[in-house]
Amino acid sequence: MRWLFFAACPLLALLLAAGPATSAIKVDQVGYIAGAVKIAFVVTKSPASAFTLHRVRDGRVVFSGAADAPVDDRDSGDRVQALDFSAVRDTGSFYIDIPGVGTSWPFAIDRDPYARTFYLAMRGFYGQRCGIAVDLGPAFPGFTHAACHVRGAYHVSSGKTGEAPSTRGWHDAGDYGRYVVNSAVASGTLLWAWELFGTRVRRLTLDIPESQNAVPDILDEIKWNLDWMLSMQDRDGGVWHKQTSERFAAFVAPEADATISYIIGTGVEPYKNSCATADLAAAMAVAARAYRPFDRAYSDRVLEAARLAWTWVAAHPSVVFENPGGVATGAYGDRSCSDELLWAAAELWRTTGEALFHQYFLAHYGESLDTIRPAGPQSWSNVGPMALWSYALGRQTDARAAMFIRDRSRAAADAIVERAARSGYRTTMTAADYVWGSNGVAANYGVQLLIANALHPDPRYVATAIENLHYLLGRNAFSLSWLTQVGAHPFRHPHHRPSAADAKDEPWPGLLSGGPNARRQDPVMAKLPDLPPARMYLDEQASYATNEIAINWNAALVFLLAGVLTAR
């Protein structure tokens, strides 16, 4: 396999000989698919006229073109000119030069330019593992930590006392907590990537401890988190909300955090809650399908957990979660769990074909149809689209319900495509999308478009999803790759405790930054002047509202990357 990764590109010396790269030229720093549209952007005070594309290895010009007329990008305030080099079919490493402006960061043109990026983004979950010693190996020497958070206990809010299991799972974000709601959405998104794009990722190794077994590495990695989720289910089927300390840990290495990992509940009977329980039911139902060919016993186990969770949540459909007294870690609170129940019903119906789940879905799906929309994709707090899409992707469906879902998905995707075409940076983002985790929103628009393509194939949907990938990998107002250690100019200071606690200059690799946030939601953002929403970002560790990482954002990026890999 040909890995393309420019953070340590041996050819950078040749590029630097042509002059230092400038952030005025915005490129996807990973690259472009050889047979696809290839566009960069330039932002200058005076309009640029011409540009040349050079091969990195010798500086030779392989293409000359004219810059498009300037277009105003409202979300960033930039006046943007497109540089179209789609005619180039040569493969290799390239850079753009504009007289009087400078050169771009290097990038690849290749048949499969995103394979290495997929590897790193998916392997980012291995770096987030809890309860085991982690070592990223010779490619990233010294990126290690010892087994962590092995001391668990039931919090008084859980309705139980004494020691509790604290095994496996992924650290949720920049903190060391583990949260069922976000874990379920992240795991479910990754399992969907397997279901839709398994032929593209099945043989990709992630260099994890389980790589030598007979199970595809992506499923091995997801199982690490599913196993922790199973430990959060009580005997009656209900699921506790999270396992965290009572306060966020200091910025220390995972193994240096000596706080107890408490299983935390609602603080009042029934102690478990509906959203976490339904989310677990949904994720385990998907897992039962995914693992069936590789581990029948595990498939049976997770399906039984899903059934138990359904029985509990059907009896307790509206128990919501708020942090109980004395707990100040992430809440992941939700005012309604109806969309989570719908997702659970859809996945259980698709897995089992049992009438109970189908009847529930058909009785309630209409309440969530408007969650498939042109603005505002699915998220941990809005899993209604996941319920609807899973149902429509299944084989045994009610024709009328499936038609409504497909039509709604197509109409939303058409509107998203049209909006991206009007955007200066050709992204699907609206001004309202620049929130905490806006890069996750961008990735989830990509997920939405690729699922719309699965329901109603349209090359425009895939092409527009790739536009968002370009945005995340450097073709944005900051000329930053928002994935750690990917590209020649990535962000470097995530709000991420392992990255802050070690002595290394670079952060742990393969982690997606939260990105611009129009709301001033951390103290560091106070120093920013009033800027357009796409400019409200700081590459600073203390800016948790713009520069934290999170497993659900990474999962959406992995799905998007899987969808544009070359089939194997």
The question of whether 539 is a catalytic residue gets the answer yes
The question of whether 502 is a catalytic residue gets the answer no
How is residue 422 written in tokens?
A: 């009007």
In this structure, the number of other CB atoms found within 10 A of the CB of residue 247 comes to 12
Helix (H) or strand (E) holding 109: strand 107-110
**Phi, psi torsion values for 400, nearest 5 degrees:** -70, -45
Is the backbone of residue 77 left (phi > 0), alpha (psi -120 to 50) or beta?
Answer: left
Give CA–CA dist 368/401, Å, rounded.
12
| Residue 57 CB partners (closer than 8 Å, separation 6+) | 11, 14, 92, 93
- Catalytic residue, chosen from 220, 234, 334, 548, is 548
Given a contact cutoff of 8 angstroms between Cβ atoms, the answer to whether 289 and 188 are in contact is: no
- Catalytic residue, chosen from 145, 149, 495, 496, is 495
Cis status, amide bond into 270, omega within 30 of 0: yes
- Catalytic residue, chosen from 28, 73, 75, 175, is 175
Give CA–CA dist 470/478, Å, rounded.
13
Helix (H) or strand (E) holding 386: helix 384-393
Give CA–CA dist 388/369, Å, rounded.
8
| Residue 69 CB partners (closer than 8 Å, separation 6+) | 47, 81
Give CA–CA dist 472/143, Å, rounded.
24
Give CA–CA dist 299/230, Å, rounded.
13
Angle between helices 384-393 and 180-201 (to 10 degrees): 30
Single-letter residue type at 386? M
Give CA–CA dist 156/231, Å, rounded.
18
Q: Is 40 helix (H, G, I), strand (E, B) or coil?
A: strand
Given a contact cutoff of 8 angstroms between Cβ atoms, the answer to whether 439 and 482 are in contact is: yes
Place of tokens 């041996």: 10
How is residue 236 written in tokens?
A: 């009656």
Is the backbone of residue 94 left (phi > 0), alpha (psi -120 to 50) or beta?
Answer: beta
Place of tokens 């500086």: 59
The question of whether 548 is a catalytic residue gets the answer yes
Q: Is 262 helix (H, G, I), strand (E, B) or coil?
A: strand
Active site (catalytic) residues: 175, 495, 539, 548
